[in-house]
């Protein structure tokens, strides 16, 4: 995953080993290479066991998972959806796909997550949902957000793309909302190459999203398509990689934590702020992040690291999102 040349330490490199090879070869030798096959079920079952979210459904990436969430919750034209300014662009894109408007709320400087105390000021009669993003592997303050959503009758979507292995009050994130989404892009904590998961506690929402991801096909009448649907299915090959990855997830997460502990100590010594693990949460350290004082400090440190073969990337930009609707 090295974007620049001559980098000894890339930003990220997925661990792909014997197990992935074995399962992928099994797909090829058995000819089950499309979106049906045993690895889809195996990956979904193991993902549900791991996260304890009852209904999970594989999809082709994390962005379409968010799109399905919007569709299933009936979010559409004229609606407003609250989300943090500091996030990956896919969160806002998915809201735009259904013709709704992303409404941005600043993040808490301490946690880098959406600031719950600023949410209520942004709620209008058009607001339908809050998208919570558990950014960089830390979780947002779910208690406060759930209370706000209840008081104002809003839906919650958790974008857990960066939060596989993240816990809030002893529960894996993704269980605190109506629908949660995950991404398995090559640099995510577990990967399928490209891939995603859309999860819920509601059987009804699960069935609806299944229908939407499979061209709107009816559950009880063959080749009958009663609604406009999409082809957002994951392939058995991707699921085979995912099934191999999830079996190694605990060791990936442990390795990340050990590296983060070393970095935390070192950065603390020289007075540089790092992304902190909050009380009663488990940070999964998806991407180790630090906060520098200004542009000059950032650029000089990035240059210094580059010269020494260490690749870095800036945090997401919080500049205004271009709505070209």
Ligand X SMILES: *Cc1c(COP(=O)(O)O)cnc(C)c1O
Residues engaged in binding ligand X (CB under 6 A): 61-63, 87-88, 90-91, 133, 159, 161-162, 183, 185, 196
Whichever of 72 and 133 has its CB closer to ligand X, that residue is 133
* Residue 31: CB minimum distance to ligand X, A: 27
Reduce the DSSP state of residue 58 to 3 states and report it. strand
- For ligand X, the closer of residues 53 and 68 by Cβ is 68
Nearer to ligand X by C-beta: 79 or 159?
159
Smallest distance, ligand X to C-beta of residue 184, A: 7
Residue closer to ligand X, measured from CB, 14 or 62: 62
Min CB(97)–ligand X separation in Å: 12
The angle subtended at Cα 96 by Cα 173 and Cα 78, nearest 5°, is: 105
CB of residue 195 vs ligand X: minimum separation in angstroms? 7
Number of CB atoms found within 10 A of residue 219's CB:
10
Hunting for tokens 């020289």 — which residue is that? 270
How far is Cα 48 from Cα 55, in angstroms, rounded to an integer? Answer: 7
DSSP H or E run through 33: none
Q: 131: closest CA among 151, 111, 145?
A: 145
CB closer to ligand X, 25 vs 89: 89
Least distance in angstroms from the C-beta of 307 to ligand X: 28
User: Does residue 309 come out as left (phi exceeding 0), alpha (psi in the -120 to 50 range) or beta?
Assistant: left
By beta carbon distance, the residue nearest ligand X is 62
SS3 call for 241: helix
């Amino acid at each position: 995953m090295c974007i620049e040349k001559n980098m000894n330490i890339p930003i990220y490199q997925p661990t792909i080993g014997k197990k992935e090879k074995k399962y992928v070869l099994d797909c090829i030798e058995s000819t089950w290479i499309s979106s049906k096959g045993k690895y889809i079920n195996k990956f979904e079952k193991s993902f549900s066991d791991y996260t304890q979210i009852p209904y999970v459904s594989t999809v082709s990436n994390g962005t379409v998972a968010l799109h399905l969430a919007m569709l299933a919750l009936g979010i559409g034209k004229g609606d407003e959806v609250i989300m943090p300014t500091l996030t990956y662009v896919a969160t806002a894109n998915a809201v735009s796909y259904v013709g709704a408007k992303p409404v941005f709320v600043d993040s808490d400087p301490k946690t880098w997550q959406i600031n719950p105390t600023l949410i209520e000021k942004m709620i209008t009669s058009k607001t339908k949902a809050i998208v919570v993003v558990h950014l960089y592997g830390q979780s947002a303050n779910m208690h406060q957000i759930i209370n706000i959503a209840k008081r104002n009758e809003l839906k919650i979507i958790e974008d857990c793309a960066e939060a596989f292995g993240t816990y809030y009050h002893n529960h894996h994130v993704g269980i605190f909302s109506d629908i949660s989404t995950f991404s398995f892009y090559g640099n995510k904590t577990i990967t399928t190459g490209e891939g995603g998961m859309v999860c819920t506690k509601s059987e009804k929402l699960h069935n609806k999203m299944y229908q939407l991801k499979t061209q709107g096909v009816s559950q009880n009448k063959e080749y009958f398509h009663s609604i406009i649907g999409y082809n957002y299915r994951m392939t058995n090959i991707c699921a085979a990689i995912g099934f191999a990855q999830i079996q190694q997830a605990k060791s990936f997460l442990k390795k990340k934590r050990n590296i983060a502990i070393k970095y935390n100590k070192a950065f603390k010594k020289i007075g540089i702020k790092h992304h902190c693990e909050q009380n009663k949460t488990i940070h999964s350290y998806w991407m180790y992040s630090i906060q520098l004082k200004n542009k000059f400090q950032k650029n000089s440190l990035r240059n210094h690291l580059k010269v020494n073969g260490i690749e870095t990337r800036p945090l997401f930009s919080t500049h205004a999102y271009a709505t070209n609707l």
